[in-house]
């Protein structure tokens, strides 16, 4: 752990990403205690108020302006990050677990299981992720749970492919062969011996996937298929604010910057993790 942070301190980009991610996560967790206005309370007297920086700490200040219903944009962005980050994290965990386990099974069993799984991956690759997501959300209905399922569905195959490749090489190594020789069962070998050895690549993929999923989540919300109103979600704020683009530029601008900064910092952290732990993954996207 100490070595990890020492290496992190040496990389300016990695450190920057790590700090920024930490700030966003802290802001999301502490959102209700930051003294921000209630994100869903509208105030028709302060509709579409422009960003003001005077009297920043007075009660009626809106540093990023208000939207068409007079709701504070800063507060909606911070509260929106709770939903956005929770959905993205849940999807990454779900997709990561399913993809990693299937990758281990395919790589360890090889043969028929492997061929069938990899064919399924090929089939899904031929279908653009966005179309698949649109179809599945339309079929299941838009809800937070379904959104997580859809996002995980677009993600599992990246783990499955790369982890399978790693396991194909690992299964011929002595420690696996000897585990097999002393009579360890298949599940024991897969979970106790193979899984710990593929955790690092899985974590690297997970970080890079988190960034992709945040953008995809925003895109789905933008098309009206994400979190339902009045809950603030970044994509939804963009879609609603787009209507007022000629009169109130701030409504649509700031949620986008929030997405950009979050994705940028997660990407920086992910790139650094990849370079640090597993440079070979670089060309395996």
Partner 1 sequence: MTRYLAGKLAESLLAIWGVVTIVFFVSRVLGDPAVLLLPVGAGQQDLDALRASLGLDRPILEQYLISVLAMVRGDFGISFQHQRPAMDVVLERMPVTATLAGTALLFGTLIGAVAGAIAALKRGTISEFIVMVAALLGQATPVFWLGIMLILVFSVDLGWFPTGGSGTIAHLVLPGLTLSVFVSASIARLLRSSLLDIMREDYVRTARAKGLLPRTVFFWHIARNALIPVITMIGIIAGELLGGSVVIETVFAWPGVGRIIMQAIQAQDFPVIQAGVALVAAIFIVVNLAVDLLYGVLDPRIRRR
Q: Which stretch binds partner 1 (CB under 8 A): 35-43, 44-52, 160-168, 219-227?
A: 219-227
C-alpha separations of 73 from 27, 31, 50, 54, 58 in Å: 15, 13, 10, 16, 16
List beta partners, residue 72.
Answer: 66
Alpha carbon distance 14, 279 (integer Å):
15
Number of helices and strands in the chain (H, E) = 12, 0
Alpha carbon distance 92, 83 (integer Å):
14
Figure out which of the listed residues 12, 41, 188, 282 binds partner 1, where binding follows CB under 8 A: 282
For the segment 137-156, give every residue that binds partner 1 (CB under 8 A).
Answer: 138-140
Using the rule CB under 8 A, is 20 a contact of partner 1? no
Using the rule CB under 8 A, is 246 a contact of partner 1? yes
Rg of the chain over Cα atoms, rounded to whole angstroms, equals 22
- Max Cα distance, the chain (Å): 76
Figure out which of the listed residues 120, 149, 179, 195 binds partner 1, where binding follows CB under 8 A: 120
Figure out which of the listed residues 109, 144, 165, 249 binds partner 1, where binding follows CB under 8 A: 249
Q: Which stretch binds partner 1 (CB under 8 A): 32-40, 41-49, 81-89, 252-260?
A: 252-260
Interaxial angle between packed helices 234-242 and 73-109, expressed in degrees from 0 to 180 and rounded to the nearest 10: 130
- Closest contact distance (angstroms) between CB of 267 and partner 1 is 6
Contact 116, 269 (CB under 8 A): no
Using the rule CB under 8 A, is 24 a contact of partner 1? no
Closer residue to partner 1 in complex, CB, 13/30: 13
Figure out which of the listed residues 5, 34, 122, 178 binds partner 1, where binding follows CB under 8 A: 122
- Closest contact distance (angstroms) between CB of 11 and partner 1 is 13
Alpha carbon distance 155, 132 (integer Å):
12
Which is nearest to 106 in space by CA: 23, 206, 198? 198
Length of the chain: 285
Figure out which of the listed residues 264, 276, 277, 278 binds partner 1, where binding follows CB under 8 A: 264
Alpha carbon distance 53, 46 (integer Å):
16
Interface contacts to partner 1, rule CB under 8 A: 119-120, 122-123, 125-128, 130-131, 134-136, 138-140, 211, 215, 218-219, 222-223, 238, 242, 245-246, 249, 252-253, 255-256, 259-261, 263-264, 267-268, 282-283, 285
């Amino acid at each position: 752990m100490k070595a990890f942070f020492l290496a992190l301190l040496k990389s300016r980009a990695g450190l920057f990403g790590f700090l920024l991610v930490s700030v966003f996560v802290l802001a999301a967790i502490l959102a209700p205690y930051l003294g921000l206005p209630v994100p869903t309370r509208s105030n028709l007297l302060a509709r579409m108020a422009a960003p003001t920086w005077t009297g920043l700490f007075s009660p009626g200040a809106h540093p990023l302006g208000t939207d068409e219903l007079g709701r504070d944009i800063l507060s909606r962005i911070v509260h929106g990050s709770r939903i956005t980050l929770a959905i993205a994290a849940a999807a990454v965990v779900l997709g990561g677990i399913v993809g990693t386990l299937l990758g281990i099974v395919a790589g360890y069993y090889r043969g028929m299981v492997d061929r069938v799984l990899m064919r399924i991956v090929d089939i899904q690759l031929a279908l653009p992720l966005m179309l698949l997501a649109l179809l599945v959300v339309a079929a299941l209905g838009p809800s937070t749970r379904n959104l997580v399922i859809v996002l995980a569905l677009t993600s599992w195959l990246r783990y499955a492919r790369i982890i399978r490749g790693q396991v194909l090489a690992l299964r011929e190594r002595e420690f696996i062969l000897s585990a097999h020789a002393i009579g360890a069962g298949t599940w024991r070998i897969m979970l106790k011996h193979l899984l710990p050895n593929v955790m690092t690549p899985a974590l690297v993929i997970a970080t890079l996937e988190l960034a992709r999923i945040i953008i995809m989540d925003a895109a789905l919300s933008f098309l009206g298929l994400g979190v339902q109103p009045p809950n603030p979600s970044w994509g939804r704020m963009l879609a609603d604010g787009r209507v007022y683009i000629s009169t109130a530029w701030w409504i649509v601008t700031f949620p986008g910057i929030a997405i950009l900064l979050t994705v940028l910092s997660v990407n920086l952290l992910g790139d650094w993790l990849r370079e640090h732990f597993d440079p070979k993954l670089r060309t395996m996207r």
